[in-house]
């Protein structure tokens, strides 16, 4: 690291630079410029093919194809250089593309034909979000595999459950982990079905110059066809800007993902605090500057902080971007540039969670010890059988024996023998132990695992 990195204002570009590589490629200024060049090049190609085919030749077609699919960093740098003069980012892209068509004046004049900046911007942000969504799905699926594997491997580890933080009917460690896997899977399916939208049609999206120049063309259909070529949807009716409702939907979906991951991080942190999980020791790591014995759950804590930052930004974007005065104002522009930050914090969190999950080892001795002789947690089973026998006061009878008190095996067996009338019920309950009262937990721990 050189000293210039020590002056980075955002940890995304400083401390966490190496942990935001995926997001940086998509949402950085370089990513935005490349998306704009792609949109401009694709539109020019579409326009020439449909309206000026005589101007096309193999050289021009090849150039536009390369601009749309293999944009060199040098061209992006040229765009930034031009922007120093134009003070307009999209105009700089237009000029840079025209420079690539040197000597082709009839085609140079058609760069950016019938477009307003927001046509290019809306399609560019949609393409970036599409790529960002796909990258997020890949990262989530990788973490999901790890959680499902851990859940399956701990499916048969009976564990004391805690509701309101207090001892409750037993479960299995794997089943509780699989709760998060199934929640993530549900949100993943929604993410996979998200559609990205862009507007088209010029300054106020009415196709004003288009219709004037080519009155017999179906411009909405042309726009739909053009968007389909980029795997985007057309927002047919809009102001100068795409209204960003789809972005709000995507961001709120990601916030729900963040909330599930946050819940997971906090629960695993608690299991580590209970000593239900041991953490694999990384030789050169330091847990405390003064307590050498410590192995801290820092990966889950790091994830928690970064998930919160991601959600804070996404919630703001979802609320802000769907509001714009009249046909447009510019307040969305600066906000849109922070989409990458929201995804960057999430990328860091996912990296931390994956690293943290890999360190987890179930502490079978501690988990078993917490269940031993905790017969009060069988109160649910006992009162349920009393209800089956027609005892209308079953709940209160067991409540008097167990509420707020510890119940050992002797007290439990005495209650069964005194309160349960049916011999078969009595036999079932006397054989029951806290570690065997887990219902379908072991099966549910593997639910959804292929």
Cβ–Cβ < 8 Å for 204, 287: no
Q: Return the exposure string of 157-174: e unless at least 16 CB atoms fall within 10 Å of the residue's CB, then b.
A: bbbbbeeeeebebbbbbb
Q: Is 164 noted as a catalytic residue in this protein?
A: yes
Bridge partners of 361, per DSSP, are: 278
Which one of 164, 289, 293, 392 is the catalytic residue? 164
Q: What end-to-end distance do the CA atoms of the chain give, in Å? A: 43
The residues, ordered by sequence, that sit 6+ positions from 258 with a Cβ below 8 Å of its Cβ are: 307, 310, 311, 314, 346, 349
Q: Is 289 noted as a catalytic residue in this protein?
A: no
Task: Calculate the CA dihedral of residues 280, 285, 291, 294 and round it to 10 degrees.
Answer: -20
185 burial via Cβ count (<10 Å: 0-12, 13-18, 19+) = middle
Cβ–Cβ < 8 Å for 71, 34: yes
In the block, tokens 């207090």 appear at 166
Cβ–Cβ < 8 Å for 154, 177: yes
Which one of 106, 288, 331, 406 is the catalytic residue? 288
Q: Just list the catalytic residues.
A: 164, 288
């Amino acid at each position: 690291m050189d000293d210039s990195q020590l002056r980075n204002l955002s940890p995304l570009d400083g401390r966490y630079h190496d942990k935001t590589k995926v997001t940086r490629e998509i949402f950085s200024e370089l990513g935005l410029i490349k998306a704009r060049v792609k949109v401009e090049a694709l539109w020019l190609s579409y326009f020439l093919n449909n309206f000026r085919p005589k101007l096309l030749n193999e050289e021009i077609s090849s150039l536009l194809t390369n601009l749309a699919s293999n944009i060199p960093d040098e061209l992006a740098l040229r765009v930034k250089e031009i922007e120093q003069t134009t003070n307009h980012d999209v105009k700089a892209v237009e000029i840079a593309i025209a420079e690539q068509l040197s000597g082709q004046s009839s085609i140079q004049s058609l760069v950016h034909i019938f477009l307003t900046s927001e046509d290019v911007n809306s399609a560019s942000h949609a393409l970036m979000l599409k790529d960002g969504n796909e990258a997020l799905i890949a990262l989530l699926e990788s973490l999901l595999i790890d959680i499902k594997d851990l859940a399956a491997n701990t499916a048969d580890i009976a564990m004391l459950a805690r509701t309101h933080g207090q001892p409750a009917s037993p479960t299995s460690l794997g089943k509780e982990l699989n709760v998060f896997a199934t929640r993530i899977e549900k949100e993943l399916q929604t993410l996979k079905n998200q559609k990205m939208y862009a507007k088209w049609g010029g300054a106020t999206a009415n196709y004003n110059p288009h219709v004037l120049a080519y009155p017999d063309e179906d411009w909405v259909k042309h726009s739909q066809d053009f968007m389909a070529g980029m795997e985007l949807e057309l927002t047919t009716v809009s102001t100068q800007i795409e209204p960003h409702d789809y972005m709000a939907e995507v961001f709120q979906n990601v916030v729900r993902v963040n909330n599930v991951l946050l819940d997971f991080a906090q629960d695993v942190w608690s299991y580590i605090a209970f000593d239900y999980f041991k953490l694999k020791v990384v030789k050169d790591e330091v847990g405390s500057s003064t307590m050498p014995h410590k192995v801290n759950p820092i990966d889950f804590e790091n994830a928690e902080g970064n998930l919160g930052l991601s959600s804070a930004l996404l919630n703001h974007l979802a609320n802000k971007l769907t509001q714009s005065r009249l046909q447009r104002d510019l307040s969305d522009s600066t906000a849109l540039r922070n989409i990458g930050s929201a995804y960057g914090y999430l990328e860091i969190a996912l990296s931390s969670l994956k690293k943290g999950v890999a360190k987890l080892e179930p502490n079978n001795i501690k988990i078993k010890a917490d269940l031993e002789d905790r017969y009060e947690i069988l109160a649910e089973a006992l009162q349920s059988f009393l209800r089956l026998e027609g005892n209308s006061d079953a709940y209160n009878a067991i409540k008097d024996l167990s509420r707020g008190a510890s119940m050992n095996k002797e007290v439990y067996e005495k209650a069964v023998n005194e309160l349960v009338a049916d011999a078969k019920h009595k036999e079932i309950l006397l054989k029951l132990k806290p570690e065997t009262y887990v219902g379908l937990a072991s099966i549910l721990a593997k639910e959804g695992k292929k």
